Amino acid sequence: MTAHAPSTRLALALAVGALLALRAAAAAAQADAGVVKVSSDPAGAMVYVNSAAYGPTPVLFELAPGTHTMIVTRDGYAPVTQQVVVRKDRITRAKVKLTVLPGDGVRVHETEAGGADVGPGTVTIDTDPPGLTVFMGEVMVPLATPVAFDMKAGVYELRLESDGKVLFKKTVFVRAGEITELDLDLDSRRRIDTTDPWQ
């Protein structure tokens, strides 16, 4: 049997001591945790605290005592941000009322998703250059181009912006159950397109 050198035994003892201290600290932190119960109207929302995701609502989870920033999100609804104060060995309850996005909501989905799109009407926009902000009337689409989203059937003024500057405008007619595809090369287009949207 090979005897360990004193320095090796000391290093091993220090490592074991550090590991035990970390476990004790983690156990203490767990014992000091408080419980957070989040419900939302409507249910089925995701809850984010300290970059960690919890959900869908209603959901129950533990957090360290203190003030935390909580973000609650659900497709088609405006995200809600609020502070929650967590106390040791207590239950903190949060009830969040979500509001539908303006314009009956813009539901963004993957542009490469296969199969038929559902919803009132679907608009797909591909632009050159990409990365433009899309407005349908006064509703801002939450993702930049290229993007696909659903809108209530109707006539809208499509507006493309970059850094707050309007690069392109066009009247768009969204038809229920149909897909409106727009492939726009802004270098070869007029800033305002006055063509008939019914054509």
Q: Are residues 80 and 116 in the same domain?
A: no
Q: Are residues 113 and 57 in the same domain?
A: no
Examine residue 165 and state whether it is found in any structural domain, yes or no.
yes
**Which one of 41, 62, 97 terminates a domain?**
97
Examine residue 72 and state whether it is found in any structural domain, yes or no.
yes
Say if residue 121 is exposed, middle or buried (CB neighbours under 10 Å; 0-12, 13-18, 19+).
Answer: buried
Confidence of residue 19 (pLDDT cuts 50, 70, 90): low
Number of domains in the chain: 3
Q: Are residues 119 and 174 in the same domain?
A: yes
Indicate which CATH number applies to the domain containing 136: 2.60.40.1120
pLDDT in tens, 158-169: 999 988 899 999
Q: Are residues 119 and 148 in the same domain?
A: yes
Q: Are residues 130 and 91 in the same domain?
A: no
Examine residue 162 and state whether it is found in any structural domain, yes or no.
yes
How far apart are alpha carbons 127 and 11 in whole angstroms? Answer: 61
How far apart are alpha carbons 35 and 88 in whole angstroms? Answer: 8
Inter-CA distances, 103 with 29, 75, 106, 107, 110, Å: 46, 14, 7, 11, 20
Q: Are residues 85 and 141 in the same domain?
A: no
Give the residue among 82, 60, 61 at the shortest CA–CA distance from 71.
Answer: 82
Q: Are residues 25 and 57 in the same domain?
A: no
Least reliable range by pLDDT among 87-96, 100-109, 137-146? 100-109
Q: Are residues 41 and 15 in the same domain?
A: no
Examine residue 149 and state whether it is found in any structural domain, yes or no.
yes
Examine residue 55 and state whether it is found in any structural domain, yes or no.
yes
Average pLDDT score over the chain: 77
Show the beta-strand stretches assigned E in the chain: 34-41, 46-49, 52-54, 59-63, 66-73, 80-86, 91-97, 107-109, 122-128, 133-136, 139-140, 147-150, 154-162, 165-174, 179-185, 192-193
Give the residue among 162, 164, 168 at the shortest CA–CA distance from 184.
Answer: 168
Per the CB < 8 A criterion, the answer to whether 149 and 110 are in contact is no
Average pLDDT, integer, range 37-41: 92
Element (H, E) at 25: helix 6-31
Q: Are residues 142 and 188 in the same domain?
A: yes
- Report the share of the chain in percent with pLDDT over 70: 68
Q: Are residues 119 and 163 in the same domain?
A: yes
Q: Are residues 132 and 181 in the same domain?
A: yes
Examine residue 198 and state whether it is found in any structural domain, yes or no.
no
* pLDDT at site 119: 46
In which domain, by residue range, is 128 found? 107-193
Least reliable range by pLDDT among 19-23, 26-30, 88-92, 144-148? 26-30
